[in-house]
Amino acid sequence: MIAIALGMSISMLGVGVLFALWRLLKGPTPLDRLLAFDVINGMVVALIALLSIVWQETYYLEALVLFSVFGFLSIATIVFYLDMAVADRGQTSFPAATPEQVIDGADSGDERYDL
């Protein structure tokens, strides 16, 4: 029963990676491509974890941690680069909010959160 569940999980994650890879290649915006890369990273980490269970090997878990860290660092680096590219064009990536607006919830547009 566990072998069937593991096989189905691995195959569904493989299909998910293929769909995310399609979005990575065809994404109309850089943000779509970045999100697809992050989804692929998460799915590959899950695949490594499932394969380490199937093969009953624990040293794949070290690769899992390294892959997770490198995936996070690459996403953070790409986001930093994209934010710098937007700032170089004279645009702001996010509107600046004062601490009072953040505390009062004024930038949320919902009066329930206003003090």
Q: Is 62 helix (H, G, I), strand (E, B) or coil?
A: helix
- CATH code of the domain covering residue 105: 1.10.287
Identify the pLDDT of residue 15: 96
pTM of the model: 0.70
- From the number of C-beta atoms within 10 Å of its C-beta (0-12, 13-18, 19+), residue 20 rates as buried
- Residue 89 per-residue DSSP state: T
Instruction: Give how many domains the chain has, as a whole number.
Output: 1
Q: Tell me: the pLDDT tens digits for 49-69? A: 999 999 999 888 898 999 999
Q: Give the chain's mean pLDDT.
A: 82
DSSP letter assigned to residue 12: H
Six-digit token pair at 83? 């934010």
Q: Which domain holds residue 26?
A: 2-113
| Interatomic CA distance for residues 54 and 46, integer angstroms | 12
The predicted structure's pLDDT at residue 80: 85
Q: What is the mean pLDDT of residues 37-59?
A: 93
Amino acid at 83: D
**Given the structure tokens 């490594």, which residue do they identify?**
48
pLDDT tens track for 74-93: 999 988 888 777 766 665 55
